[in-house]
Amino acid sequence: MGTKGGEALLEIAAESAAESALHQWHVLWTHSNCEQLVYDQLAAKGFDPFLPTLETWSKRGGVRRLGRVPMFRGYLFLRHAMDKTSYLEVYRARGLVRVLGERWDRLDIVPNSEIEAIQKLLHSGLPILPYPYLREGQRVRITDGPLADMEGIVVRVNPKKGLLVVSVNLLQRSVAVHLDCTVLEAA
């Protein structure tokens, strides 16, 4: 039976898809301020770590400086096909608390699309700000402004404002207020 051509391309595409499925993104939890330390150790060993960082102003000794800080404090990502040997090699990194997941063979995986979205944000040149991860129905505390230290439940979240509901259980009544979600934190 003759070939029509292109079979080799299909085989290469299948191998590439299988390889990328094995090289999945994992989350590494580090000790406080040890993200760069863990990153450097793993990169030196030939792993593919990813530490997204943001530029931010800090004040030390009365002097304001522009510096880089991790986008997700205490965490970095690692793309690797994780077998027991490589897991143990990663686990030996100084400053690492653990790799997120149940066991070495059941590690949590971050979808490629989420990592790609973070990378696009970083390469966009647009200002990136940390933003609280809030879910509808979550109990939150207001951190700033005239309502500071007040607690309520997030009813609706949109890019500009969230709808916070404060309830009086005894009266079975509630009131709502629109707030900037950046002044909210999980209660």
Which pLDDT tens digit goes with each residue over 123-167? 888 777 766 676 778 888 888 888 788 888 877 766 566 666 665
- φ and ψ at residue 55, rounded to 5 degrees: -90, 130
Provide the Cα torsion 147, 152, 155, 157; round to 10°: 50
State the pLDDT at residue 78: 97
Residue 87 pLDDT > 90, yes or no?
yes
First vs last C-alpha separation in the chain: 68
The residue count of the chain comes to 187
Which of the two residues, 171 and 41, has the higher pLDDT score?
Answer: 41
Question: For residue 30, which of 17, 42, 12, 13 has the smallest C-alpha distance?
Answer: 42
Rounded to 5 degrees, φ, ψ at 21 are -70, -35
| pLDDT category of residue 18 using cuts at 50, 70 and 90 | very low
Q: Which of 75, 80, 83 is nearest to 38 (CA)?
A: 75
Residue 179 in tokens: 């707030």
Is pLDDT of 112 > 70?
yes
pLDDT value at residue 128: 77
Query: What's the token pair of residue 47?
Result: 């792993």
Dihedral angle, C-alpha 27, 29, 34, 35, nearest 10 °: 20
